């Protein structure tokens, strides 16, 4: 069964600190992995996409890594800001054109405090 | 620059009532999706429409129907609402079903069935 597991479930950090969110998956065959940010009361918004051949990709203060061999990804947030408080969702796409292809993690809820 | 627009944003229904959730996108996307998001769970696919004129069941279609009215609009109907359908509903769209195409999400409809 295709699964996407995220850890930790929730995280509280001080403004300015760094943090790393984890995503482990068993989706096969693998196509790509996206990290989404979901602000409270809003829809998810894509931060990064990682394909099989990519190890690291940055988007401003967000850096995603992918180890396709161990089926693990991480999202590192540098110098956190209050606006980073949100849920971060790992979405792994199966190598299929089916509408079923997206597999969603439950998300990590991040709270950045002053 | 609206993107994906959902209406209404909030709704309270009594058990057995019916309602239609509306979704429209202005990005000329071919594919549209309906998801539900429940606490402690990842987003789950209810129905999707790969292109205008086609619809297919997703992971949790029971109790729902959909209509792809035209390329822009994809509605979700609850014929006889049940408390188990209390959830946040997200509509999404993507240019194609191509594997690297990003899905764009609406802001969600928070539905409570009492």
Q: Please answer yes or no on whether B42 and A31 come within 8 Å at the CB atom.
A: no
Q: What is the pLDDT of residues B84-102, one digit of tens each?
A: 999 999 999 998 766 678 8
Q: Please answer yes or no on whether A103 and B42 come within 8 Å at the CB atom.
A: yes
Entry field: residues in chain A: 114
Task: Report d(CA B60, CA B38) in Å as an integer.
Answer: 12
All residues of chain A having their beta carbon less than 8 Å from the beta carbon of residue B51 are none
> Closest partner residue to A95 among B44, B99, B105, by Cβ?
B99
Mean pLDDT of A14-25: 98
Distance from CA of B99 to the nearest CA of A (A): 7
Q: What is the pLDDT of residues A48-93, one digit of tens each?
A: 999 988 899 999 999 999 999 999 999 999 999 999 999 999 999 8
Distance from CA of A102 to the nearest CA of B (A): 9
Mean pLDDT of A22-29: 94
Q: What is the pLDDT of residues A95-110, one digit of tens each?
A: 876 766 889 999 999 9
pLDDT for the residue B96: 75
Q: Which residues of A touch B (CB under 8 A)?
A: 4, 31-32, 34, 41-46, 49, 51, 89, 93, 95-107
* Residue A3 · residue A25 · CB < 8 Å: yes
A33 burial type by CB count under 10 A (0-12 exposed, 13-18 middle, 19+ buried): buried
DSSP at B73:
B
Task: Report d(CA A48, CA A45) in Å as an integer.
Answer: 10
pLDDT for the residue B73: 97
All residues of chain B having their beta carbon less than 8 Å from the beta carbon of residue A45 are 105
- Residue in chain B nearest A50 by alpha carbon: B100
All residues of chain A having their beta carbon less than 8 Å from the beta carbon of residue B4 are 43
pLDDT for the residue B1: 62
All residues of chain A having their beta carbon less than 8 Å from the beta carbon of residue B43 are 44, 89, 104
Chains A, B: CB pairs < 8 Å: 60
Identify which of A49, A55, A57 has the alpha carbon closest to the alpha carbon of residue A32.
A49
B7 burial type by CB count under 10 A (0-12 exposed, 13-18 middle, 19+ buried): middle
Q: What is the pLDDT of residues B18-59, one digit of tens each?
A: 999 999 999 999 999 999 999 888 899 999 998 898 999 999
Tokens matching residue A43: 């829809």
C-alpha distance from residue B68 to each of A113, B2, B28, B63, B65 (Å): 43, 19, 14, 17, 10
Task: Report d(CA B18, CA A20) in Å as an integer.
Answer: 44
**CB neighbours of A53 closer than 8 A, spacing ≥ 6?**
none
* Residue A44 · residue A60 · CB < 8 Å: no
* Least confident residue range of B8-17, B57-66, B94-103: B94-103
**CB neighbours of B64 closer than 8 A, spacing ≥ 6?**
B34, B46, B47, B76, B77, B78
- Whether B74 has a pLDDT exceeding 70, the answer reads yes
Q: What percent of chain A has pLDDT over 70?
A: 97
């Amino acid at each position: 069964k295709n699964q996407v597991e995220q850890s930790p479930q929730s995280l509280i950090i001080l403004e300015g600190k760094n943090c790393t969110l984890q995503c482990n998956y068993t989706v096969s065959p693998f196509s790509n992995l996206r990290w989404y940010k979901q602000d409270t009361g809003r829809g998810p918004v894509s931060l990064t996409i990682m394909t099989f051949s990519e190890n690291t990709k940055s988007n401003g203060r967000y850096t995603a890594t992918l180890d396709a061999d161990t089926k693990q990804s991480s999202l590192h947030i540098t110098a956190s800001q209050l606006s980073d408080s949100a849920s971060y969702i790992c979405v792994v796409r199966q190598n299929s054109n089916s509408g079923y292809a997206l597999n969603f993690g439950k998300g990590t809820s991040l709270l950045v405090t002053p | 620059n609206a993107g994906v627009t959902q209406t209404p944003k909030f709704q309270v229904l009594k058990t057995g009532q019916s309602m239609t959730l509306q979704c429209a996108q202005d990005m000329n996307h071919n594919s549209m999706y309906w998801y539900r998001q429940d606490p402690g769970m990842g987003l789950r696919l209810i129905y999707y429409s790969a292109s205008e004129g086609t619809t297919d069941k997703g992971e949790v279609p029971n109790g729902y129907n959909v209509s792809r009215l035209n390329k822009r609009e994809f509605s979700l109907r609850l014929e006889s609402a049940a408390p188990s359908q209390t959830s946040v509903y997200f509509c999404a769209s993507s240019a194609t079903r191509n594997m690297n195409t990003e899905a764009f999400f609406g802001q969600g409809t928070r539905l409570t069935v009492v």
